[in-house]
Chains A and B, each alone.
Chain A
């Protein structure tokens, strides 16, 4: 362990170790303040950013923020690091890396082949010294394409997860929201229900219902019931039609344990899903959700700032070749992301880090009613993510999730973004929509076995 110092005029700022330097350099965030690790002053923050900018990228390979012996996420990150892919930037400092990312030398294809050489800590470090326009400009160059029953992430496309939640998992209520969403062209990323109950039998009922609707209408998309991974695995064992396996993940072994998961369990779940061979165009079978603050919330952050923990969660995600990954950026509440400004910055950081690491990043642009945020903040976040080339956003009826009690993006928001930026749904879904949209059946008819 080495310590770090940086002088600004006559003040010398000292940082005892790398994770402290990261935490001090990270833009202001209520969660890091809650953890007691953030910069004590704006000047200290900039000093830490200047210090960080001078560090060589190789530093993060030599000095893990959370010890290798202690944490399986650290082991995954370092064991899978691709030195060949890293080669083009291996001599750079964090600051030089930022400049290079913005240069024409860092083309789409160069960035694509670079991804396996970048670790979450490198991505987090460089994002901390990047302004919003940098985060947008670089992310916009990176396309990450994935496939299951359709093709997601192509240039000029914006997909949506249709999120038809219902407080009592009522099939007719869920079907009504699905029909509504389909008429707005929502649902090409996935039709995904957050179940109110994690009960295996009721999850299986929902899985069959979603699968029947998809088959009945012949929609080129995938369905998912976002129960705990172990519940979905049990559903697979009982013969339920599982397209994608979902799980919330975090960036430390301890935080993942608090979610009741670990790398071996996720590996097993993926193997089970692959065995079903339900994908027609590709075998990206995993769906992950993440969000800054989850590690601290589980008291499992180990002194690492929440944005770096989040990037480490992407290190977990990419190992499993997911179809979809989205940060649920404003869901966690104001003790982690206080207001619209913090939510906006976090959304763009998460999207950038995910894309740089090679993930098909989407974003649940959202907020809760105890955060200092409103629909204007959501519009700004949504629009900037669209400019940054986000793979998908959520589609919730009227933006009001009546089960999870928070505000997310609406079917209308997606139409706005598609029209504004001239984006279209996934090609297979777009073709289906043009042919079938006018002939969607009524809800009772849709629910008939």
Chain B
């Protein structure tokens, strides 16, 4: 068998060889490194001011808020707290209430590194596809210790018809900075994931910014036209050539 060929077909850890019946030490250490990188990404803190600088060219109006989870350990143990705004954040957003077509929510999720690395690129690519006369956007909201559903309360407080949550995905060994986008029509507390559309796997070796933005713009337009999101809204954008 041409065993050296296996790695041409998959990024899985195939054809690693054996020491005795264990993994050779180089592979053990590589795995170890990947695991601690992923752990680091989970526990990394969002550098909100750097994120603000990175998106400065396309948006200057940002609001910084926090969930009810005060720290990372609580966040990991209590997903319910990550889905709700803390009281100060809530009043801050209520003060900014208006009538908006959409709000972009930048949430750390399980990988602040992912948000830090890819949110600016995704936002820039997306705004290029949205006519500013056609889309009245709320101030961008940066939220820490957040789960996806916090976008429901944020959109509700601000009076936005659509919430677009950019959030760091759970880090894996091959990629610790993968970003996802969740789109929810008529966001309000109490919705389930069945009410959302998701575009996932946005990272250097995954979905590119232009493709992600293309899919997002399609979903935003369709969601607004049909006044719904989730299982009844299929992402059916024409493939980019």
Contacts and interface: CB of A to CB of B under 8 A. Distances in A.
A179 B1 contact: yes
13 contacts: A30-B77, A34-B77, A166-B10, A173-B12, A176-B10, A180-B6, A369-B172, A370-B42, A370-B110, A397-B10, A402-B10, A412-B18, A443-B6
A44 B88 CA distance: 36
Sort A-B residue pairs by CB-CB distance and give the 5 closest, nearest first. A398-B13, A405-B172, A415-B21, A173-B10, A176-B9
Given A34-B77, A369-B172, A400 B14 contact: no
A33 interface: yes
A374 interface: yes
Interface of B: 1-3, 5-16, 18, 21-23, 27, 31-32, 34-35, 38-39, 41-42, 76-80, 110, 170-174, 176, 201
A180 B15 contact: yes
Contacts of A416: 21-22
Nearest to B82: A335
A406 B174 CA distance: 10
Interface in A320-345: 333-335, 338
Interface string A393-427: 00011111010011100101001100100000000
A369 B170 contact: yes
Contacts of B41: 369
Contacts of B14: 176-177, 179-180, 397-398
Contacts of A177: 10, 12, 14
Interface centre among A167, A335, A370, A375 (most CB of B within 10 A): A370
B173 A400 contact: yes
Contacts of A334: 76-77
- Report the contact-size class of chain A (Cβ under 8 Å from the partner): 35 or more
B1 to A, nearest CB: 5
A34 B22 contact: no
Contacts of A412: 16, 18, 21-23
Looking at A174, A334, A369, A374, which has the most chain B CB atoms within 10 Å of its CB? A369
Contacts of A402: 10-12, 172-174
B16 A398 contact: yes
Given A170-B10, A397-B14, A415-B22, 12 more contacts: A167-B201, A176-B9, A176-B10, A370-B110, A375-B32, A397-B10, A400-B172, A400-B174, A405-B170, A415-B21, A439-B1, A442-B5
Contact of A335 (B5, B79, B201): B79
Interface string A170-190: 101111110110010000000
Interface string A426-442: 00000000000001111
B16 A443 contact: no
Nearest to B169: A405
Contacts of A172: 9-10
A383 interface: no
